[in-house]
Amino acid sequence: MHSRLRARGALCRMLAVALAAAAGLLLPLAPARGQAVVLRVVANGQGVLLRGDAIIQDGVVMAPYQGLFEPLGIRAVWDPRTETLTLTTPAGDEMRLRPNDPYASVNGERRPIPIPLVAVFGRVLIPVQWVFDTLGDVTAYDAATRTVTIDAQITSIAWRAVGDGLEVQIDGTAPLHARAARLRGPDRVVVDVDGAVAKLPEAALEVHEGPLATITTAAVRAGTEIVLTLEGPAGFRLAADGVSRRALLTLTPGSQPPAARPLAPGSPGEPRITGVDYQRLDGGGQLVITSTRPLEMSQHVLRAPDRIVLDARGAVFVPVKQAIDVNDGLVVQVRAAQFHKAPDIVRVVVELARPAPFAVRAGPDPTQTFVAVGDAAARGPASAGSPRGPVVVAIDPGHGGSDPGAIGPDGVREKDVVLAIARDLHALLAERHIDTVMVRDGDDFVPLDDRASIAQRAGATLFVSIHANASVDGAANGVQTFYYTAQSLPLAQAVLEELSRASGLAPRGTAQARFEVLLDNPQIPAILVETAFVTNPREEQMLRDPRTQQLLARGIFEGIRRYLGAQQSNAP
């Protein structure tokens, strides 16, 4: 560790010499490894005028911070008294940088930084690419033109039923500069987002709901082009002010859809669907479709996002259109509408937060069709109104999507291993019929301020955030837990002891910390678990091994079970 710190200190001293030379305070001979250059910066599609030259140090771009962050909606505050640069993103993430500190503080976590902030002769320079990449944006440096490009990242495209049409939501890491136009042959709406890069699981999304058929994304010179192919003529309205990191495109059918007209009486044998309802069950949920006669249902699955699509042929949907917002950690929304007339088809769409098993069954009453989702699909039909259990564990795999977390010397990414551990923990809890909610169950970017709200909407009674530790000291090792409130301490202690026992790793203790995911959960026991050090070569390989991931999940599970047992024994 000391040799690394000395090397970083030498780099910082060379940068200071280069800065002094650039300022004319020394002879105009800067070290070859620290070269002062005039840098061109394009941030979120806008040109940025730097306050002075940048320094290129071993391929790392160090540039004055002023003006870099405003186009990305990031607030930058330099405190000369404490020599601290504080950055706050639109999503609420916070980074703190200090001179000569080989770590940056990111939401209270210490992250190794390639070259620390440099403050000399009144100038403050930062490692541009590392800072913006860590905050979730996308950077590139063209050495030939000495140009740094900083792009916002489009993190998700989602849609939901609104009235007779659909609302398409485009989310990014920074203010989105979007504009839309209509094209014919085929009918489509094209949304151009300047200065943004799409980092999505799929470049093409199959929708086939309301007026929307498909969504495709492609990189263009100015940023990203999003093409929405329509089922037919439709009106659109784009809400994008260039300040918000969300753009909303509302699509409405261009002519009155058949389902909006008074329904024909139909033949005497034609079933009418009178409504749909969703019930939360232990380990999943159940959709109840009520009709006047038994239904003939076909079913298939769509991805990105994950959806169960059910078509009732020869049926009429009496409510015309219905949407149920669920957001229980498994099911996002249920939508039902008259999809087609002549022949009549009613389409029911169950949008999922993650892939899940499902089963379509006839109910005890022939006028009911049950669709069980999740763990409930493996059991028989449940009675209406079955509640969730008394314990609901929110499992929060740290980082995700554009935020990889810490990266080990062999390339293991924190976001990947903690997701694997979280999934193993979910399976262990489900085996014991303990309800869970996964804050993320894919490689998704979930803002810190959304993580607690996802848990709260699902009725969580415990919150467990899973991470992998990091240090510039490659020998640092062991497991550790953090808590904020006194009611969380017993859970943190139990998990630490069981995690150490299951993995064989040294316990580093339990400490109180002001991590945002803990601060946002003051009403329930909430802990943050550091499973091992991804920066330790031995523990990095352990974290990569699925067998060790299962052991770590087992340790967390045993700690939760021990805590719950103690709570029951102490209950009056």
The class that CATH gives domain 152-255 is: mainly beta
pLDDT tens for each residue of the chain, 572 residues long: 444 444 444 445 555 555 544 444 333 333 345 678 889 999 998 888 888 889 887 778 999 999 999 999 999 999 999 999 999 988 788 999 999 898 999 888 888 888 899 998 778 999 999 999 898 888 999 988 999 999 999 988 888 877 778 889 998 888 999 999 988 878 889 999 999 998 877 778 888 887 888 899 998 888 999 999 998 788 899 998 888 888 999 998 864 433 333 443 444 557 888 888 888 776 678 888 988 888 888 888 887 778 898 988 888 888 777 888 888 778 888 988 887 777 788 889 998 888 888 888 887 777 788 898 987 776 655 443 334 568 889 999 999 887 888 989 999 999 999 999 999 999 899 888 888 888 888 887 788 878 888 888 778 899 999 999 998 888 999 999 999 999 999 999 999 999 999 999 999 999 999 898 999 899 999 999 999 999 999 999 999 999 999 999 999 999 999 999 887 766 55
Buried b (16+ CB within 10 A) or exposed e, 63-76: bbbbbbbebbbbeb
Residue 501: predicted pLDDT: 94
CATH of domain 265-378: 2.60.40.3500
Residue 275: predicted pLDDT: 81
Residues of the chain with CATH 2.60.40.3500: 152-255, 265-378
- Rounded to the nearest angstrom, the gap between the alpha carbon of residue 142 and the centroid of all alpha carbons in its chain is 29
| Distant-in-sequence, close-in-space partners of 567: CB < 8 Å, separation ≥ 6 | none
| Single pTM value for the model | 0.52
Beta carbons of 87 and 95 less than 8 angstroms apart: yes
In the numeric block, the tokens 């100038």 are attached to 123
Beta strand segments in 184-283, E:
188-194, 196-198, 204-209, 212-220, 223-230, 234-239, 246-253, 272-281
Question: Which is it for strands 392-397 and 435-438: parallel, antiparallel or unpaired?
Answer: parallel
Residues of the chain with CATH 3.30.457.10: 2-136
Beta carbons of 228 and 204 less than 8 angstroms apart: no
Beta carbons of 480 and 510 less than 8 angstroms apart: yes
CATH architecture for the domain at 392-570:
3-Layer(aba) Sandwich (3.40)
Structure tokens at 400: 């995700």
Q: Which CATH number fits domain 2-136: 3.30.70.3340, 3.20.20.70, 3.20.20.370, 3.30.457.10?
A: 3.30.457.10
Identity of the amino acid at 138: V
Partners of 97 in the β-ladder: 85
Partners of 288 in the β-ladder: 277, 370
d(CA 70, CA 402): 20
Structure tokens at 116: 């620390």
Please provide the distance, in angstroms rounded to a whole number, between the alpha carbons at the two ends of the chain: 52
d(CA 273, CA 161): 19
* Planar angle of CA 246, 215, 200, nearest 5 degrees: 60
